[in-house]
Amino acid sequence: MPRCKNRALAPVLSLALLAGASFWSAADAAQIVVINNNAAGVGFNDATAASPVGGNTGTTVGAQRLIAFQFAADHWGQRVASSVPIRVGAQFSALSCTQNSAVLGSAGPNTVFRNFAGAPRANTWYVAAEANALSGSDQDPATDDINANFNSNIGQPGCLQSLGWYYGLDGNNPSGTIDFVAVLIHEMGHGLGFLSLVDLSTGTKFNGFDDTYMVNLEHHGAATPDFPSMTDAQRVAAQIATGNLHWTGANVQAASSFLTAGAVGTHVRMFAPNPIQSGSSVSHWDTVATPDQIMEPSYTSAIHMPNFERPLFRDLGWKMNQPRLD
């Protein structure tokens, strides 16, 4: 059963910032375990005093960050089905930043697997968390399934100095703040499989095999529209085909009427700017999607509900606990 570690994977995906009721079976809910990788006194261990805010009862900055992270993890845990705990290694660190723009966070799988017991598709890569869920066993117990980084410099001189993180759990962040929970939910979405492993520069498949994300992509109107059948050069062209890179999975197509913009027929547009945007292209919904979705490439608002993402995760092969859409 082949596997590949993160050092060989495509770059992790990032979220940038530019200047009804839900029901599930608790028995099927995934346990998502947050692993704090920060050293003492920094990041998730920052001992700076903080007042409880928006339902977050932490009394230090680090404690509030961890509470928010587990809250966001539980959002996904309630939606994806897995009998195997999902481990997310996380840390605050210095990420790309200027006075007017910043990478808020980045995340991706540490490992991918193919041809494991229970794999729906042969010779196709699945991210670790999904491979574990589908097989019912941990394919690599010594390695965290997901690695996530968050920008420690937000609000500091030279890094979106006029803004700051909001650690409340209520989605009611005040003006001048960035909702941390929304960023967390977005990044964990990438770690759970909302990403392509196709090389953005060369169009090559990861180690020569399809992945469960790219098999749902098409270049609308191209002579060879589906990603698996394309040449490398055709995939390069598709990845910058603004407006014509589409998701064609059956579950997303069935739910496409949920969108008032961003669908072409029943196909849904994916983010394909020209030129390529490393860390963003292909592995997000197009920015024209309306209503706004949490897996768009740029932070828009405090969205806490992975909504239209759920049919996409079904297309990836995940078993989901909740109704298709709220």
**324 within domain boundaries:** no
**142 within domain boundaries:** yes
**71 within domain boundaries:** yes
Check pLDDT > 60 for residue 9.
Answer: no
What is residue 26's predicted lDDT score, i.e. its pLDDT?
44
pLDDT mean over 87-109: 95
Of 235, 261, 267, 224, nearest to 248 by C-alpha is: 267
pLDDT mean over 50-72: 99
**323 within domain boundaries:** no
Q: Of the spans 25-34, 121-130, 297-306, which averages the highest pLDDT? A: 121-130
What is residue 245's predicted lDDT score, i.e. its pLDDT?
99
How many Cα atoms sit within 13 Å of 184 on the Cβ side?
29
Using alpha carbons only, give the angle 148, 6, 294 rounded to the nearest 5 degrees.
40
Place of tokens 């808020």: 104
**189 within domain boundaries:** yes
| Element at 264 (helix H, strand E) | strand 263-264
Share of the chain above pLDDT 90, in %: 88
Length of the chain: 326
**322 within domain boundaries:** no
How many Cα atoms sit within 13 Å of 257 on the Cβ side?
1
Check pLDDT > 60 for residue 149.
Answer: yes
**325 within domain boundaries:** no
**66 within domain boundaries:** yes
Instruction: State the average pLDDT for the chain.
Output: 92
Structural domain harbouring 272: 3-316
Q: What is the pLDDT of residues 170-218, one digit of tens each?
A: 999 999 999 999 999 999 999 999 999 999 999 999 999 999 999 999 9
Of 168 and 9, the one with more pLDDT: 168
pLDDT mean over 266-279: 98
What is residue 25's predicted lDDT score, i.e. its pLDDT?
42
Check pLDDT > 50 for residue 24.
Answer: no
Query: Token pair for residue 252?
Result: 């997303």
What is residue 323's predicted lDDT score, i.e. its pLDDT?
62
Confidence category of residue 12, pLDDT binned at 50, 70, 90 = low
Split into its structural domains, the chain has a count of: 1
At a CB cut-off of 8 Å and minimum separation 6, what does 38 contact? 44, 45, 62, 91, 92
